[in-house]
Structure 1
Amino acid sequence: MSSKTSLLKKFYILYQIIGLILIYFVYYWIVQYRGGFSFTEPKIIFNWHPLLMTIAFLYLFANAILHYRTFPNNTKQKLKNQHALIHGCILILIVLAGFAAFVSHQYGKPQIPHLYSLHSWLGVITIIMFLSQLISGLWCFLYPGVAVQHRETLAPYHVFFGIGIFILAVATALLGFCEKIIFALSDKYKLLPAEAVLGNILGIVCVFYCILVVYMITKPEFKRQPKLEYETLLK
């Protein structure tokens, strides 16, 4: 095993551990302080939203954009199919998370207005960008009729916007966590109770996770090299 491969493996293990810790922190916060989960109580139905969005946009999306680098020995076609499959899973979770927020706001008492906060505005922008990225990626890189030169032209933009969407998703999550905790604790937040401490730690973990993922996706040494399998660079 080369030193580059060994280093990549260590980073892969590290970002997987931090990603799973992040999901656990969100789960623990909801169960311990926000009443757990429900399929019938509007106020508690909302709790699915932060958990599913964390799994989708932070953990799975990070795995999607790093998939080519963390599994370099797979064939290009297999990687593309797996990359698309992960995005499909993300899309399902986004729909469920959005539905949970809508039901909670629409049927909660008192009713909460939709899409009024900066968190929700950025969330809509993130989702629109994700859908645009998904559709353009399916057309350009999976549709066999697209010429290789077009794929070569679009690939850097696909990577750039993928990184941008991930960073925007992390920023949106940070705003969402902060908004939810401040609304829930109100004046108690400035006294730094246990829930506030957990929320602050959750935010720090998000930032560190984001930095780690962006570092891995932009480090040239970790880029997958084309294999001698009769594949062009972007076949």
Structure 2
Amino acid sequence: MNIHCSHFDTSLYNFQVLKLFCVIECRKYVLGILLIFSIFFWLQFYRNGFGFSGTINVCNWHPLLMTITFTYLFANSILHFRNFRNIKKKKLKKQHLIIHSCIIFFGLIGVWTGLNSNVIAKPPIPKFYSFHSWLGIVTVIMFLSQFASGFVTFFYPKVAVQYKKAIMPYHIFIGTLTFILSIVTSVLGISEKIMFALNQQDNYMPTEGLYLNFVAFLLIFYGVMVVYILIKPEYKRPPKPKDVVTHIANI
């Protein structure tokens, strides 16, 4: 939660705008941590916890890892340039790459646990039958494609500066869209759990179902906060004289 509010260039931004940004960003951090702990609490106390054997215990890693990577880390990565705007962009760009690399590594482990739990179930559970799984595949493919194209465009020194500038708006748009899809995918996954994992009766909603509805609202609100910060022009990183044009600009 180390947001460099004191480092902001107040000559370019109104103090009240910066103050509001800091308030929203700090609350976003708190909400993100609360979201992770809410998922952990649900899996630990309602879904028998975690393990490396048994269908339920293996599968429980999937929602936790995907929440940490494709929700929390993803959000902080795409807002990294806004939060630390006085740090050199070259350094931020490397940190951005590292965070995304962690998302890929642990996110793919999360995907694997979800798929593997279907295989070891008795009888085996069909894979890729729900819209949650379909949209999840699309989201992961978009993220990997965005990572690969961004790495080549902004790290390969022989790419022309004009091309970097031209591709940047699309890089930002696709990144934002991918984050939105990750939120939608997570909400669909929670809805899927409510429908298929809970033994519901007519006119009866178990405590777990009510709790998951609360988590889904928490997830949506978190995503809205992130997108709001992303699309707010006043919150963009202002151009710095020391920023060279070959680095990611004005994110």
Question: For this structure pair, what is the TM-score category when the shorter chain's length is used for normalisation?
Answer: over 0.9
Greater shift after overlay, 38-47 or 215-224?
38-47
Aligned: 1:198 with 2:211:
yes
Between 141-150 and 164-173, report the one with greater CA deviation: 141-150
How far apart in 1 are the matches of 2:151 and 2:245? Answer: 18
Counterpart pick for 1:124 among 137, 148, 169 = 137
In the superposition, the TM-score normalised over structure 2's length comes to: 0.90
Q: Is the 8 Å Cα contact of residues 25 and 202 (structure 1) preserved in structure 2?
A: yes
1:34 and 2:47 matched: yes
Match of 1:91 among 96, 104, 110: 104
The residue correspondences of 1:66-145 to structure 2 (distance < 5 A) are 66-145=79-158
Is 1:183 aligned with 2:185? Answer: no
* Counterpart contact for 1:105–1:113, Cα < 8 Å: yes
Q: How many residues align?
A: 235
Contact 2:118 2:127 in 1 (8 A): yes
C-alpha deviation, 1:232, in angstroms: 2.5
Task: Give, in whole Å, the separation in 1 of the partners of 2:52 and 2:220.
Answer: 31
8 Å contact kept, 1:189–1:196:
no
Q: Which shifted more, 143-152 or 120-129?
A: 143-152
Query: Does structure 1 conserve the Cα–Cα contact (< 8 Å) formed by 2:200 and 2:206?
Result: no
Q: Which residue of 1 aligns with 2:163?
A: 150
Q: Is the contact between residue 118 and residue 125 of structure 2 (CA under 8 Å) also seen in structure 1?
A: yes
Are 2:241 and 1:228 equivalent residues in the alignment? yes
How far does the alpha carbon of each residue in 1:98-151 deviate from its partner, in whole angstroms, 9 at most, with x for none?
111121101111210111110000000000000000000101111111111101
| SS, match of residue 187 in structure 1 | coil
Deviation at 1:189, TM superposition (A): 8.1
Q: Does the alignment pair 1:208 with 2:221?
A: yes
- Normalized per residue, the structure richer in helix is 1
Runs of 5+ unmatched residues, structure 2:
1-5
Aligned-pair CA distance for 1:228: 2.0
Q: Distance in 1 between matches of 2:44 and 2:134?
A: 27
Structure 2 CA distance for aligned equivalents of residues 100 and 123 of structure 1:
14
Contact kept in structure 2, 1:37 and 1:44, CA below 8 Å: yes
What is the TM-score when the length of structure 1 is the normalising length? 0.96
Which segments of structure 1 move beyond 4 Å, counting only runs of 4 or more?
none
User: How far has the Cα of 1:41 moved from its partner?
Assistant: 1.6
For 1:233 and 1:211, locate their aligned partners in 2 and report how far apart those are by CA, in whole Å. 31
Name the Cα RMSD after superposition. 1.4
Please tell me the residue identity of whatever aligns with 2:32: G
Contact 2:47 2:56 in 1 (8 A): no
Does the residue aligned with 2:150 lie in a helix, a strand or coil? helix
1: CA distance between counterparts of 2:28 and 2:142? 24
